[in-house]
Amino acid sequence: MTIKNITIASRESPLAMWQAEYIKSKIKQLYPDIKINIKGFKTQGDILLNQSLATIGGKGLFIKELEQALLAKKADLAVHSMKDLPMDIPDDFKLIAITKRGDPRDAFISNNFDSFDDMPKGTIIGTSSLRRQSQIKATYPYLSIEPLRGNLQTRLKKLDEDKYGAIILAAAGLIRLGLENRIKKYLETEISIPAVGQGALGIEVLAGNEELNKMLLELNDDDTSRCVLAERVVSRSLAGSCTAPLGAYASISNNDFIIKGFVASPDGAQIIYAETKGDKSDFYKLGETLSQILIDKGARDILSSL
């Protein structure tokens, strides 16, 4: 092995740094003699906090600086939350591994309420996710949704300052930072279909570094990869981005593969659900099938009106 040093590019938020440390530990288990450094970068998505992602360029703003670091050889790999990785990856880069998924669910966090059902009309829920907003509004149209951005600690602080009656966050991030005690209720995937890739981490590298790519491939979890790649097929087929309220979630039991998804208008007035199942070896095809079912039910009509 000729590789002696590896540098990991990461966003600077506490959660992103935890994720980079986690990948570092996994590489160390496989290759204990390699020296591994983590280099933090501030991305545009972390800087522009007073605007919604939908209006300033989407989730790609969280990875541009990391990809530039790879191109400039300032880092060898970048660690991403899969839900933040755009559907189309430029040819210069390669998604080499998707690690075993953490908890995929959304989490309800509140200091005053146990669930949505306890909340009186007009109570403010904090989320900048159109996916979450549309699903909440579909069932609880009388609740108010207001934007909430910033790192995980910033969002919790705003809740504690009583700016919101509740906030919705990804359970995986809270669990990873030891903050699961803040979770009042886990929103099961039947109630709140997660974002594509939620709970999974991806490792991105330059396309040509074959030795490094072969090493990192060992971190790939096959079943998680099947699920996340199928979910990404759905999002790509439906032009999924921060401006489109949609979600998809796949799971595997033995060899049985189930994938479900939805498309909605931001206010939840129009919402379409679909599900399909088959053998896990057909994961990609099942993602395409689910996309077509949603399209046949009118998904394109909803999305084209946004």
**CB of 59 closer than 8 Å to CB of 84:** yes
DSSP 113: -
Tally of CA atoms within 13 A in the half-sphere of 138 that contains its CB = 21
- For residue 135, the model assigns a pLDDT of 95
* Whether the Cβ atoms of residue 231 and residue 290 lie closer than 8 Å to each other: no
- Domain of residue 47 covers 5-99+200-220
Per-residue pLDDT tens digits for 71-118: 999 999 999 999 989 888 999 999 999 999 999 999 999 999 999 999
Rounded CA gap, 45 and 161, in Å?
Answer: 24
In a domain, 161, yes or no: yes
- How far is 268 from 139, CA to CA, in rounded Å? 8
For residue 62, pLDDT over 60 is answered with: yes
Q: Are residues 122 and 270 in the same domain?
A: no
> 163 and 286: one domain?
no
- The number of residues making up the chain comes to 306
> The domain that contains 254 carries what CATH number?
3.30.160.40
- Domain count of the fold of the chain: 3
Q: Indicate which CATH number applies to the domain containing 57.
A: 3.40.190.10
Residue 194 lies in a domain: no
244: Cβ contacts below 8 Å, ≥ 6 apart: 130, 238, 263, 303, 306
What confidence tens digit (pLDDT) does each residue in 162-203 have?
A: 999 999 999 999 999 999 999 999 999 988 999 999 999 999
Provide the pLDDT for residue 50: 53
Do 216 and 238 lie in one domain? The reply is no
Amino acid at 223: D
Identify the pLDDT of residue 1.
64
- Examine the domain organization and report whether 14 and 76 are in the same domain: yes
Same domain, 71 and 117: no
Residue 225 inside a domain? The answer is no
Asked if residue 204 and residue 90 are part of one domain, the reply reads yes
Q: Which amino acid is it at 286?
A: L
How confident is the model over 227-233, as a mean pLDDT?
97
pLDDT of amino acid 56: 44
Q: Residue 227 in 3-state DSSP?
A: helix
Per-residue model confidence (pLDDT) at position 20: 97
* 97: phi then psi, degrees, rounded to nearest 5: -155, 145
Please give the average per-residue pLDDT across 152-156, as a whole number.
92
Element (H, E) at 134: helix 130-139
In a domain, 64, yes or no: yes
Within-domain flag for 272 = yes
Is the same domain home to 209 and 93? yes
pLDDT digits (tens, 9 = 90+) for 244-298: 799 999 999 999 999 999 999 989 999 999 999 999 999 999 999 999 999 999 9
CA 207 – CA 210 distance, rounded (Å): 8
How far apart CA 16 and CA 272 sit, in angstroms, is 33
**pLDDT tier at 41, thresholds 50, 70, 90:** confident
At residue 63 the predicted structure's pLDDT band, cuts being 50, 70 and 90, is: confident
Residue 49: pLDDT over 50: no
Q: How far is CA 26 from the centre of its chain?
A: 21
Q: Are residues 85 and 123 in the same domain?
A: no
Buried/exposed 174-183: b ≥16 CB within 10 Å, e otherwise: bebeebeebb
pLDDT-above-70 percentage for the chain: 92
SS3 (DSSP) at 168: strand
Distances (CA, A) of 14 to 19, 20, 155: 9, 10, 13
Residue spans of alpha helices (H) in 167-296: 171-176, 210-216, 222-237, 283-296
pLDDT at 243: 67
Catalytic residue annotation: 84
Instruction: State which amino acid sits at residue 75.
Output: A
Q: Judge if 13 and 33 occupy the same domain.
A: yes
Residue 53 banded pLDDT, cuts 50, 70, 90: very low
Residue 158 domain-assigned (yes or no): yes
pLDDT attached to residue 127:
93
44 and 67: one domain?
yes
CB 81 within 8 A of CB 197: yes
Burial of 261 (0-12, 13-18, 19+ CB in 10 A): buried
Largest CA-CA distance found in the chain, in angstroms, rounded:
63
**192 is a domain residue:** no
Nearest-angstrom CA–CA distance, 14 and 174: 11
- Whether 227 maps to a domain, the answer reads no
92 & 110 share domain: no
Same domain, residue pair 80 and 129? no
